[in-house]
Amino acid sequence: MSQRKVFVRESSGLIKQVNLLDAVMLNLGNMSAGVALFESISPYLNSSNNPTIGGPGGVLWIASLLGLIFAIPQLIIYTVMTRHISRTGGDYVWVSRSINGGIGSVMAIALMLESLAYFALIAFFSASSINAVLSTIGGVDHSSFLLNLANNIFVNPYGNLTLIQKGIFYSIGAIFFVIVILLNIFKAKWGYNIVTILGIFSFASLIAAMIIIAISTPFMAKISPFMSSQGISIPSSVRYSFLPKINWDYTLLLLPIFALYTYPWMQAGPAVSAEFKQSQKIAKLNLVLAILITAFFVTVGFAEMDAVAGYYFNYYAYGTFIYNFWDVAIALSQNALVQWFLGLGVILWNFYVLSYGVIVFSRYVFALSFDRVLPAKFSEVNKYGSPIYAHLLDLILTLSLLSIPVFSTAAATSLYGATILGALYFLVVSIASIFYGVKNKIRILSIAGIISAIYFAFLTYEAGINPVFGFTSTVDGIPITEIFVGLVIVTGIVVYLLSKYINSKKGIDISMSFKEIPPE
């Protein structure tokens, strides 16, 4: 089959079915505001959990605003490049055509494996959120039934779990993941529908949580039953202050924690851009809307917590890993229906993220397959317009990685440490945008690429040296994170070189696929 026929097949196989709402919801899942407000960022404000923070002075909502500002160059890159090159695989195509096919392929494979590690962590958090909801509602309502579920069945995953309890946690994430994969296989549009539906529900619950926190006064009196039930004590000398004396060093060192979940992750829309119904309109608006919505909810959510409770109270309470935005909102709810609406919301946020991931991962596999880096089987589309074998690969790999945090919380640090691959990937994308901008005389793209490259060089460095991310951590003396990251890079190199060799035996030079942007 000729190269041109291959790309025509892509155009006819993946249907142009993504509207603006679908694209925005896909990107919002990518940046996961609701997960960021759970126990993902706020515990690391406290120096006991984050040794880079020497004490009070780092401010979460200010760090969120700084993260938004530093994300603007990347936003320009992804918006401009998507408008110029709307291809399945998004930034993989930009890198492979602007820099080098081998580099693009290796980095795309690295991103895919890092993303699977992230999805495994999110599946782990989904089980953790169930425990948190049961424990919070059970504690404030004095429900022995709910507390029994939280203490014996849906237990805290950070404790000493029995094999059965670990199996329950694994099954929760695995069953949902299988369901989402099957929906995507039987009809591609269903995959987008479930992302949009889960996204709407997740944001509705987040809005409700913000309202509950805002109207619950006096805060200290109403949060007291929750604090007592969870055994959380705060130093009596703590004074109220919405804005402390800001330590800008500490605040800046919170940015890598935000980068785990929020602003840098804007590749979801571009990865499916070949499926946009109104390509230019959606390419222009989807990322701008998504990043502004994410920034609003994350920034206001953390600022609201400081406004009602005071910065210093939150500083100490966050460090427990129990007290966070969602648990506080649930605890403040005086109505059982509202409690369970919010509880279901925080749980479904995790499944919302998993749902977007299923779609995006398959599109990278799809693109690599069309470039013959991966076997052609992965680019086959069934009669429902879905890349079935790409989804099955996603299923097998994710279910394998999910076992890591479920069966060994110590080994889970290896998945956090994989964050360095994401930062490195975005650094390479930034460099590719510089090349493309210079070549095509797009000045704003070149400038944005330079600024973005500097920022991601900083994040890559922090991901490597900051102990919070666990890149240099060991399990039983074994540097498991460094081994994992190294194996990911080696895997990408081996896959590319092996593919190049196998295709050369057939008289095909796969490097020719990267010489120019292929036709639609």
Over residues 262-315, the pLDDT tens digits come to 888 999 999 999 888 888 899 999 999 999 999 999 999 999 999 999 999 999
Q: Is the pTM of this model over 0.85?
A: yes
Which region, left, alpha or beta, applies to residue 107 given φ > 0 means left and ψ of -120 to 50 means alpha? Answer: alpha
pLDDT of residue 68: 95
Neighbouring C-beta atoms of residue 358, cutoff 10 Å: 23
Query: Could you tell me which residues are beta bridge partners of residue 475?
Result: 478
Neighbouring C-beta atoms of residue 506, cutoff 10 Å: 8
Instruction: Tell me how far apart the alpha carbons of residues 283 and 226 are, in angstroms, rounded to a whole number.
Output: 45
Contact 106, 496 (CB under 8 A): yes
Number of residues that this document lists for the chain: 520
Neighbouring C-beta atoms of residue 281, cutoff 10 Å: 13
Calculate mean pLDDT across residues 142-166: 84
Residue-averaged pLDDT of the chain: 87
Q: Which of 142-156, 170-184, 368-382 has the highest mean pLDDT?
A: 142-156
Show Cβ contacts of residue 408 under 8 Å, excluding neighbours closer than 6 positions.
Answer: 475
* Closest listed residue to residue 398, CA positions, set 126, 35, 18, 43: 126
Instruction: Tell me how far apart the alpha carbons of residues 176 and 504 are, in angstroms, rounded to a whole number.
Output: 41
Q: Count how many Cα atoms sit within 13 Å of the Cα of residue 358 in the half-sphere of its side chain.
A: 34
pLDDT of residue 408: 64
Contact 46, 398 (CB under 8 A): no
Looking up tokens 């991966």 gives: 374
Q: Kindly report whether the peptide bond that precedes residue 218 is cis, defined as omega within 30 degrees of 0.
A: yes
pLDDT tier at 145 (50, 70, 90 boundaries)?
A: very high
pLDDT at residue 351 is higher than 80: yes
Instruction: Tell me how far apart the alpha carbons of residues 326 and 332 are, in angstroms, rounded to a whole number.
Output: 10
Calculate mean pLDDT across residues 455-459: 93
pLDDT tier at 358 (50, 70, 90 boundaries)?
A: confident
Calculate mean pLDDT across residues 133-142: 93
Higher-confidence position of 475 and 258 = 258
pLDDT of residue 15: 66
pLDDT at residue 519 is higher than 80: no
Q: Would you give the distance in Å from CA 100 to the centre of its chain?
A: 27
Query: Could you tell me which residues are beta bridge partners of residue 18?
Result: 276
Instruction: Tell me how far apart the alpha carbons of residues 469 and 211 are, in angstroms, rounded to a whole number.
Output: 33
Instruction: Tell me how far apart the alpha carbons of residues 489 and 428 are, in angstroms, rounded to a whole number.
Output: 14
Contact 508, 372 (CB under 8 A): yes
* Closest listed residue to residue 243, CA positions, set 67, 493, 59, 44: 59
Instruction: Tell me how far apart the alpha carbons of residues 475 and 481 are, in angstroms, rounded to a whole number.
Output: 9
Instruction: Tell me how far apart the alpha carbons of residues 402 and 407 are, in angstroms, rounded to a whole number.
Output: 9
